[in-house]
Amino acid sequence: QEQLVQSGAEVKKPGASVKVSCKASGYTFTDYYVHWVRQAPGQGLEWMGWIYPNSGGTTYAQKFQGWVTLTRDTSISTAYMELSRLKSNDTAVYYCARVKMTPDSFDIWGQGTVVTVSP
Amino acid sequence: SYVLTQPPSVSVAPGETARITCGGDNVGWKSVHWYQQKPGQAPVVVMYYDSDRPSGIPERFSGSNFGNAATLTIGRVAAGDEADYYCQVWDTTSDHWVFGGGTKLTVL
């Protein structure tokens, strides 16, 4: 079935970087945008940006420009989100989700990846 | 930047109707999507393009969007509907996606 499977939990120190993967299966990876959304503990959903796997084109939320990098490897149908210069308030669950085209809904989500930033 | 405002919580008795609002400046001109998130799980879309229901979502769920408020209505609420609900729009001005702050639905 169509699904997105994310990499496992990460624990990082402040100042480090983290790279989370999101592997697509059951559909044509290059036909859908991949968006990234994060959720801090007890908080709401925060949109981070998207990548279009077909072209590699990206758009980032203004807040994340300059310290989030979205990439993809079409040979293995996988999208990546790298967050640099981590701080303790980057501790969150990071989700990937697919969208056919803007402004369609996010119809399939990954299971989420917990990133903990701790000294 | 565009802001969506939701009530932090809504409480209803089983069998009653829950209405969750999502306020925004002329949100009626935008397409609103709604997501349900249960503890420890990823969000799931329960309503898209204001009032379209994905397959598998009960007919008890309906949506509307007029003026400055969109509404997700859940009829005959059951314990299994207890969750956080988020509205979402795409803001054409900024080319950014925006989520509301979320509403916790409690079934009394």
How confident is the model over A18-33, as pLDDT tens digits?
999 999 999 999 999 9
Report the distance separating Cα B58 and Cα A98, nearest Å: 23
Mean pLDDT of chain B, nearest integer: 97
Question: What integer is the mean pLDDT of A102-111?
Answer: 95
Predicted local distance difference test score (pLDDT) of residue A107: 95
Chain segment B7-28, per-residue pLDDT in tens: 999 999 999 999 999 999 999 9
Residues of B whose CB is below 8 A from A110: 42
Mean pLDDT of chain A, nearest integer: 97
Predicted local distance difference test score (pLDDT) of residue A83: 97
Chain A interface disruption, residue of B9, B36, B53, B97, most A CBs within 10 A: B97
Predicted local distance difference test score (pLDDT) of residue B33: 98
The Cα of B108 is separated from the nearest Cα of chain A by a number of Å equal to 21
Query: A105 Cβ partners below 8 Å, 6+ apart?
Result: A99, B33, B45, B48, B49, B88
Chain segment B29-57, per-residue pLDDT in tens: 999 999 999 999 999 999 999 999 999 99
Token reading at B35: 């997501």
Residues of A whose CB is below 8 A from B42: 95, 109-112
Q: Label residues B83-106 b or e (16+ Cβ within 10 Å = b).
A: bbbbbbbbbeeeebbbbbbbbbbe
Predicted local distance difference test score (pLDDT) of residue B12: 97
Residues pairing with A70 in the sheet: A81
The rounded percent of chain A whose pLDDT value lies above 70 is: 100
Predicted local distance difference test score (pLDDT) of residue A102: 86
Residue B2 scores a pLDDT above 90: yes
Residue A20: half-sphere exposure toward Cβ, Cα within 13 Å: 30
- Residue B64 one-letter amino acid: S
**Coil, helix or strand at residue A11:** strand
Chain segment A61-88, per-residue pLDDT in tens: 999 999 999 999 999 999 999 999 999 9
